[in-house]
Amino acid sequence: MKKILSLILALSMVLCLCLPAFAVPIPEKPYDNSCFFNYKDYTLHYRVYDGDPADKKQVLLVHGFCLSTASLEGVAEEYMSAGYDVITVDAPNFGYSTRETNDMELLDREEIIYALMCSLGGRWIVGGHSMGGGIAINIATDYSDIVSGLVLCAPQTNTEAKGIAAKISASKLMQTVMSAVLALALRMPAVVRLLVEISFSSKEYAKSYDLSRITDPMSVDGTGAGISIMSSHTRSTDFEKLSSLKIPCVIFTASEDRVAMADNLQTIIDSAPEGKVVYNFDEGGHMMMEYNPKEVAKLSLPIIAKCK
């Protein structure tokens, strides 16, 4: 086993050395509506969409794995047009937020995003796509005092990393492997486009998709290592707490979803608050909220309008 691990490490190091440097720093102003929030060792990048000043309702949205606020632009703009104040946030290790290192005090993503919500004040409708849906659920169950509703697109929850699995994920070896794999993938646009096609379940949509929406944020220095470290301290979900929530909840699924784990998705649906509403898309696959944000907003707005 030690020989195999040593070989993997050696190959990863060679790969990293052979590939030209691709990592870039986090820009000072990624978008016109970009803001940054500092909390302990972390800096969160988030974007602000100001709705109707007369409407006090606020929505916070979290993206999926390997994505960023770019994937939430369409939905955010639809909610803003309907009068809601919307915040989209990059989870740690993605987009333009902090990349974790072993030298940091590692915190739950939920705690950091909750701190942002508290700094902005008020109550929140919390939503998320895929991994972000799992984060949104945990925020709702942990901090129910400020959460008034849930919007979940193909949500997926994490299992808690423990023991040797957590140690391996945080190891220098795994960080090197992840960094090398990411560096290679970012130099193969055809591979990235194939992943987009799988995620959207649409070859035609993938052909015209701007890959920089994914590759630019993923090129930020430390992304591969950060994802590896993140995997060592992910949070599990308390499904009993989820079931006990008394808030409006809407869940979106897709018939052609090739990414979401069906068993996990069904567990979320079964455990969602009483009165939840579930919609299924025939198109858009796992990325239905980016593929058809107008329909996601149209179907969810009557439900979140009930949030108090």
Q: What is the dihedral of CA 230, 49, 248, 92, to 10 degrees?
A: 0
Among 292, 107, 75, smallest CA distance to 202 is for 292
How confident is the prediction along the chain (308 residues), in pLDDT tens digits per residue?
Answer: 444 444 444 444 444 444 444 578 999 999 999 999 999 999 999 999 998 776 679 999 999 999 999 999 999 999 999 999 999 999 999 999 999 999 999 999 999 999 999 999 999 999 999 999 999 999 999 999 999 999 999 999 998 888 998 999 999 999 999 999 999 999 999 999 999 999 999 999 999 999 999 999 999 999 999 999 999 999 999 999 999 999 999 999 999 999 999 999 999 999 999 999 999 999 999 999 999 999 999 999 999 999 98
Domain boundaries, the chain: 32-159+236-304
Topology, domain 32-159+236-304: Rossmann fold (3.40.50)
